[in-house]
Amino acid sequence: MTGMSRARVARRIAAGAAYGGGGIGLVGAALVGLLLAEAQLARRQVQANGSSPYVPKADGLYGGGYATPGVEPLRLTLLGDSTAAGQGVHRAGQTPGALLASGLAAVAERPVELRNVAVPGAMSDDLDRQVALVLAGPRPVPDVCVIMVGANDVTNRMPPTRSVRHLAGAVRRLRTAGAEVVVGTCPDLGTIEPVQQPLRWLARRVSRQLAAAQTIGVVEQGGRTVSLGDLLGPEFAEHPRELFGPDSYHPSAEGYATAAMAVLPTVCAALGLWPAEEDRPDLSRREGFLPVARAAAEAASEAGTEVTAAMPTGPRGPWALLKRRRRRQVAAEHLDEHADTGSQAGA
């Protein structure tokens, strides 16, 4: 599917989500049925390989050495599915939440309080419950929320309009409460080893269509997105044994580090912690202002690409800034450092 075609489909899905439609499909029902059957086979293989819904609890304070009297820690909350929760690793410090909290603390030179309400197996309709949990009670509103969701929507055949509607609603509620929001869009399911050809191309197509539609919905509500699709694409395809965990389905510790370090620059930018010049488009990196649907389609095809609202109106509707921020790689030998940081969280 070309970028322009993906942009048109994404616009239709986002419009359906915004205006209550539910009949727009990603692909034909028969093909989606085949994908679902293949995904169910993959899930059974994952379970046979020993995957468990257990995830290490990484909630707590990171970067305590940066504490300053009278200065509150930054508050980071993760929502979403198993990718946000960190399923597939065994140490708290290897989860994406812990990695993001550690990285954010280092950039801000300020402690970060992490809370993770993500649930393995969750679909976008569970975000309603998760957001209510985040905003309930006496806890302060998070400074920034990171949402990773979408894969289970595809494998469970949730209508994409419904999927985007729930995600956009979650972003709207969090932004209204005062939190910045960064969404890691639907990963590329075509790279999961148990999913075989010829359905890999279909899984990739479906995943990227949903990711593009998610981007439109999120940006319209004042959030930012980062494409995770290609992080589970070329890099994972070239190094599946390093970046996938033992179940060949969820990322390994190195895989989560790759994803977390792609999201971290956008989290920092949302909080105003990145240098101002980094927010200007760099033409040498093919960055710039685009209609939001076109930006969404381009982002769905390239790892780590950020999309954020730029202008509310333009010749073809709202425009967005597409950024390809330089991400920091976390070497394998540094993973233990992050894991040790997790112990500060009491995990």
Q: What was the pLDDT predicted at 253?
A: 75
How does pLDDT run across 131-142, given as a tens digit for each residue? Answer: 999 999 888 999
Catalytic residue among 51, 59, 82, 163: 82
Q: What was the pLDDT predicted at 136?
A: 93
Q: What was the pLDDT predicted at 196?
A: 55
Backbone angles phi, psi at 274, to 5 degrees: -90, 150
Planar angle of CA 218, 224, 230, nearest 5 degrees = 95
CATH of domain 3-280+325-343: 3.40.50.1110
Q: What was the pLDDT predicted at 48?
A: 47
Counting as low any pLDDT under 50, the low residues of the chain are 1, 21-30, 46-51, 232-233, 235-236, 239-248, 329-347
Amino acid at 11: R
82 labelled catalytic: yes
Q: With b meaning 16 or more CB within 10 Å and e meaning fewer, what string describes 102-131?
A: bbbbbbbebbbbbbbbbbbebbbbbbeebb
How far is the C-alpha of 184 from the C-alpha of 58, rounded, in Å? 19
Residue the block writes with tokens 């760099």: 282
Q: What was the pLDDT predicted at 342?
A: 45
The residue extents of the domains of the chain are 3-280+325-343
Catalytic residue among 51, 247, 252, 338: 247
Q: What was the pLDDT predicted at 270?
A: 95
Tell me the pTM: 0.82
How does pLDDT run across 98-118, given as a tens digit for each residue? Answer: 999 999 999 999 999 999 999
Pairing of strands 112-116, 144-148: unpaired
